[in-house]
Amino acid sequence: MGEFELIRRYFASAACAAGGEAVALGIGDDCALLAPPAGEQLAISTDTLVAGVHFPAVCDPFLLGQRALAVSASDLAAMGASSVAFTLALTLPDADPAWLEGFARGLNQKAQECALALIGGDTTRGPLSMTVTVFGTVPAGLALTRSGARPGELLCVGGVLGEAGGALPLVLGERQADAAVAEPLLARYWSPQPQLALGQALRGKASAALDVSDGLLADCSHIARASSVALVIEAERLPASAPLEALLGAQRALQLKLGAGDDYVLAFTLPPEHLPELSSNWPQLHVVGRVEAGSGVRVLDAKGVDITPRQGGYLHFMESP
Amino acid sequence: MGEFELIRRYFASAACAAGGEAVALGIGDDCALLAPPAGEQLAISTDTLVAGVHFPAVCDPFLLGQRALAVSASDLAAMGASSVAFTLALTLPDADPAWLEGFARGLNQKAQECALALIGGDTTRGPLSMTVTVFGTVPAGLALTRSGARPGELLCVGGVLGEAGGALPLVLGERQADAAVAEPLLARYWSPQPQLALGQALRGKASAALDVSDGLLADCSHIARASSVALVIEAERLPASAPLEALLGAQRALQLKLGAGDDYVLAFTLPPEHLPELSSNWPQLHVVGRVEAGSGVRVLDAKGVDITPRQGGYLHFMESP
């Protein structure tokens, strides 16, 4: 089966999904063509997931399809971009119809949720991996970068952290848990919800933003470095997670909220005057700290004692699944 | 080493390469930002190369770096696009500095040649593979698609075909040859020259175009199907290749000119009135056939006898390196 035929057959509904007028030419030629509206810039991000590194080699292909797209779409949210389209480079050991059907169904469903149209790709034979490149549009000058944080601003997150990391022992089959605990954690791991609407709402308001993919501490250090400021995280303000705390206890839950990746929740800095309006529209938004002059990231407990872990986040060349 | 640091360290010169004003934000944030000039569309293509499938698992990383970028840049040429930028998703079994240095040097050199700036990417651990996504701009309405060929037009190619396919036994070490024969063939395999300037010269002239990556027969069938026409290839008009014919003989050379991929030469259909001007500027351009009413692709010998091979080109799920 040729690559276009393979892509068309299994990914047809994603190819037809709303990409809107910005998609001038979709799958089937040497290139796709995008036509961003006048005054808009095109936001682009690429992520690769490798079997045995970023997901278990044996897993549900439907869930994997959802996750593969969500991880990349989250980068559009982090820039405040509106979603437009994506390409899929899929490397497979063989063309197993049952696997492809499940993977495509998960991918297509997430593509519909995120309003992303499949505009091209490549299918190759080899060890299982996938590279998704996403495209969005953002008015020129309004993209949320990492470099605008200023002392006196608030540090906020768009939702609960640590749950995807807490799901890992369940994903890997190292632990069992009651459904009431396991299901919400596994959903966070396999089907992250890219915060696209929140990202767009932060245009012109947040001074710096990113999505928490490497862990809050590591990702905050990216903002601190890019903005030449210090970030302070107040540990007791990190949103609670009942299933996470039930599974692992409060101490380990805090470690995961600070250090685990894969939640794909937005973290951003915000001038205080924008908080009331945003909070009323986004109840899941939490202030978790503040921006100060200086450098680096510190974590303080309720008494103001520095409890910053030595090693925060993870780096991709050291990661384990 | 973090992914940004890895990318920055080895691919710094590609990140600084000319991407021109269309690159609004490069490596280091959640997304890159491109700002196509008013009236221009963005052309996008993605290609994956997998070790042991698209290139030998043990090979010169410098040559591999050149080839990885050239293969994708050729898709921009096939659309008539001007090159702007690329992303690199690189999966490596380990971070071997000598390998990375060689790969990056080859990639950077080809990026300079093709005027492509590195704007983002991902580095992951896993079996060796790489996905390159390229970005170019083309005035709205002038992209070269596959669907505009009309009966009465000429079928042309932008250069010699079959040489990259002829190099394969040399690449795989299955055969030896004198340097006079081996060197030009190996250069065609490892360092394809994307015909970007020719593609841009064909804007508003060629009625359909693509780059020959799957073999002339298979790629012509893509044009025939997309344009609802028949294409006739006149075998004796296919450009000669002294090294290919010296290595393999005339009969096998013809098979490779028709069926071997990897040359990344443009094939296109052209209203005859445009031929004189183009031929004078592009001496390597060859008329190799014509467009007729009907469907499919036929190959005729010098006497007009149909010599169409049963199986033309290759499809990616059946390919061997």
Mean pLDDT by 10 residues, chain B (321 residues): 65 66 87 92 96 90 95 97 95 90 94 94 92 96 96 98 93 90 93 95 97 94 97 97 94 94 94 97 96 97 91 41 30
- What domains are there in chain A, each with its CATH number? 3-139 (3.30.1330.10), 154-300 (3.90.650.10)
- Stretch (H or E) spanning A118: strand A117-125
Question: Mind listing the pLDDT tens digit for each residue in B201-231?
Answer: 999 999 999 999 889 999 999 999 999 999 9
DSSP state letter for A141: T
pLDDT of amino acid A17: 55
A95 pLDDT exceeds 60?
yes
Is pLDDT at A185 greater than 70 in this prediction?
yes
Phi-psi region of A132 (alpha: psi -120 to 50; beta: other; left: phi over 0): beta
Q: Is A213 annotated as a binding residue?
A: yes
Residue A187: strand, helix, or coil: helix
State the smallest CA–CA distance between residue B246 and chain A in angstroms.
33
pLDDT at B318: 33
Query: Are B210 and A145 in contact (CB < 8 Å)?
Result: no
Nearest to B87 among A38, A41, A46 (CB): A46
- Say if the Cβ atoms of B120 and A48 lie within 8 Å: no
| pLDDT per position as a tens digit, B121-132 | 898 999 999 999
Kindly state the DSSP code that residue A207 receives in the 8-state scheme.
Answer: S
Are residues B191 and B65 in contact, defined by beta-carbon separation less than 8 angstroms? no
Contacts of B183 (CB under 8 A, 6+ apart): none
Distance from CA of A150 to the nearest CA of B (A): 18
Sort strands A117-125 and A82-92 into parallel, antiparallel or unpaired. parallel
Beta carbons of B31 and A87 less than 8 Å apart:
no
CA distance A44 to chain B (A): 5
How far apart are alpha carbons A132 and A86 in whole angstroms? 7
Residue of A52, A76, A120 lying closest to B31 (CB–CB): A76
Residue A54 annotated as part of some ligand binding site: yes
Q: What is the mean pLDDT of chain A?
A: 91
pLDDT tens-digit map of A124-135: 999 999 999 999
Which chain A residues are Cβ-neighbours of B138 within 8 angstroms?
Answer: 33
Return the residue matching tokens 């060629």. Answer: B206
Q: Which residues of B touch A42 (CB under 8 A)?
A: 33-36, 42
Query: What tokens does B206 get?
Result: 């060629």
pLDDT score of B210: 97
Is A121 labeled as ligand-binding?
A: yes
C-beta atoms of B122 and A138 within 8 A: no
Q: Which residues of A touch B32 (CB under 8 A)?
A: 43-45
Q: What is the mean pLDDT of chain B?
A: 91
DSSP B146-168: SS---TTPEEEESS--SHHHHHH
Sequence-distant (≥ 6) Cβ neighbours of residue A31 within 8 angstroms: A25, A120, B43, B44, B45, B75, B76, B78, B79, B81, B136, B143
Of A81, A131, A211, the CB nearest to B48: A131
Among the partner residues A35, A50, A135, nearest to B124 by beta-carbon distance: A50
Half-sphere exposure of A271 (CA within 13 A, CB side): 7
Whether A126 sits inside 8 A of B51 (CB atoms) is: yes
- Under the banding of pLDDT at 50, 70 and 90, the label for residue A262 is confident
Cα A246 to Cα A231: distance, rounded to the nearest angstrom: 29
C-beta separation of B220 from B229 below 8 A: no
Judged on CB neighbours under 10 Å (0-12, 13-18, 19+), A279 is: middle
Q: Which of B260, B254, B240 is nearest to B168 (CA)?
A: B260
Interface with chain B: mutation pick from A3, A7, A31, highest number of B CBs within 10 Å: A31
Q: What is the three-class DSSP state of A43?
A: strand
CA distance B86 to chain A (A): 10
Task: For residue A76, name the pLDDT band (cuts at 50, 70, 90).
Answer: very high
Residues in chain A: 321
Q: How far apart are CA A307 and CA A309, in angstroms?
A: 6
* Apex A293 CA angle, A291 and A294, nearest 5: 110
The rounded Cα A38 to chain-centroid distance in angstroms is 28
Chain A residues in contact with B2 by the CB 8 A cut-off are 315-317
Instruction: Verify whether the Cβ–Cβ distance A127 to B131 is below 8 Å.
Output: no
CA gap A63, A53 in Å, rounded: 16
- d(C-alpha A7, C-alpha A16), whole Å: 12
The answer to whether the Cβ–Cβ distance between B316 and A211 falls below 8 Å is no
Are the beta carbons of B30 and A91 separated by less than 8 Å? no
Measured between CA atoms, how close is A71 to chain B, in angstroms? 11
Distance between CA atoms of residues A204 and B146, nearest Å: 42
Instruction: Give the integer Cα–Cα distance in Å for A261 and B83.
Output: 35
Contact B46 A89 (CB under 8 A): yes
Integer distance in angstroms from the first to the last C-alpha of chain A? 32
Give the per-residue pLDDT at A311. Answer: 59
Q: Which residues contact B69 (CB under 8 A, 6 or more apart)?
A: B86, B107, B110, B111, B114, B116, B132
What strands lie across the sheet with B296-300, from one edge to the other?
B208-211, B266-270, B154-157, B286-292, B230-234, B296-300
Structure token digits, residue B136: 């170019």
Q: Which residues contact B142 (CB under 8 A, 6 or more apart)?
A: B80, B203, B204
For residue B317, the chain A residue with the least C-alpha distance is A125
Contact B127 A126 (CB under 8 A): yes
Of A33, A38, A51, the CB nearest to B42: A33
- Tokens 């992250």 belong to A192
Write out pLDDT tens, residues B107-159: 999 999 999 999 998 989 999 999 999 999 999 999 999 999 999 999 999 99
Q: Work out the number of other CB atoms within 10 angstroms of the CB of residue B179.
A: 8
The answer to whether the CB atoms of B126 and A6 lie below 8 A apart is no
Which of chain B's residues have a Cβ under 8 Å away from the Cβ of A50?
A: 91, 124-127
pLDDT at residue A27 above 70? yes
- Please report, as a single letter, which amino acid is at residue A88: L
Give the residue carrying structure tokens 């961003």: A36
In chain A, residues with a C-beta closer than 8 Å to the C-beta of B34 are: 41-42, 44
Which residue stretches of B44-172 are H helix?
61-79, 97-114, 163-171
Q: Number of A:B CB contacts under 8 A?
A: 213
First to last CA, chain B: 32
Say whether B31 and A52 touch across the interface (CB within 8 A). no
Closest Cβ opposite residue B133 in set A36, A46, A226:
A46
Gap between the Cα atoms of A249 and B132, Å rounded:
43
The answer to whether the CB atoms of A124 and B36 lie below 8 A apart is no
Residue B129 is labelled as binding a ligand: no
Cα A186 from chain centroid (whole Å): 15
Rounded to 5 degrees, what are φ and ψ at A254? -65, -40
User: B227 near B150, Cβ under 8 Å?
Assistant: yes
- State how beta strands B230-234 and B296-300 pair: parallel
